[in-house]
Amino acid sequence: MAFDTPNGTHGAHQPARNRFEQWANQRMAERIRHKGDRRGTKLALVTVGRRTGLERVTPVRWFPAGGGARYIVASANGAPQNPAWYYNIAGHPDQVRIEFAGRRIDVVAEQLHGAERAAAWAQITATARGFERYERITDREIPVIVLRPREA
């Protein structure tokens, strides 16, 4: 499915990407990559920058999708813009992997639409109520992406 969700016109303000925030995100991603997280709900999403071609690592929350697949949500905390990693996946969908607790898994990323997205969204918001708030404060449809392990 296409990665085609347009940006919205209003929503939460994203904090400025300053050096401290970048450093903190990198530290969190490295910890997740090597040790995992305490609750096992986060992973390090590894993408290739759509313009730079450089590897990018972002910590994201995941939700079980069955069969070893995982859902991730491009919420950007309810901002009007999709997060940068969403565009990186769209630009290089064949070069995505996830890492956590010393494991590296190459995945195929697919954005969900229609009934599939609605079912996944219901599961996600039942588990993590904060995502309902993000949906209320922005006018864009928040993308839900399923990551399936790539077959060898």
Work out the pLDDT band at 93, boundaries 50, 70, 90: confident
Q: For residue 10, what are the CA distances in angstroms to 54, 81, 125?
A: 30, 9, 21
Packing angle of the helix pair 130-137, 114-127 (nearest 10 deg): 130
* Average pLDDT of the residues of the chain: 92
pTM score: 0.92
Which residues, 6 or more positions from 25, have their beta carbon under 8 angstroms from its beta carbon?
58, 59
Phi, psi of 134, deg, nearest 5: -60, -40
Percent of the chain with pLDDT over 70: 97
* Predicted pLDDT of residue 22: 86
Structure tokens at 62: 């995941």
Q: From CA 40, how far away is CA 31, in angstroms rounded?
A: 12
Give 45-55 pLDDT, tens digit per residue. Answer: 999 999 999 99
* Predicted pLDDT of residue 14: 72
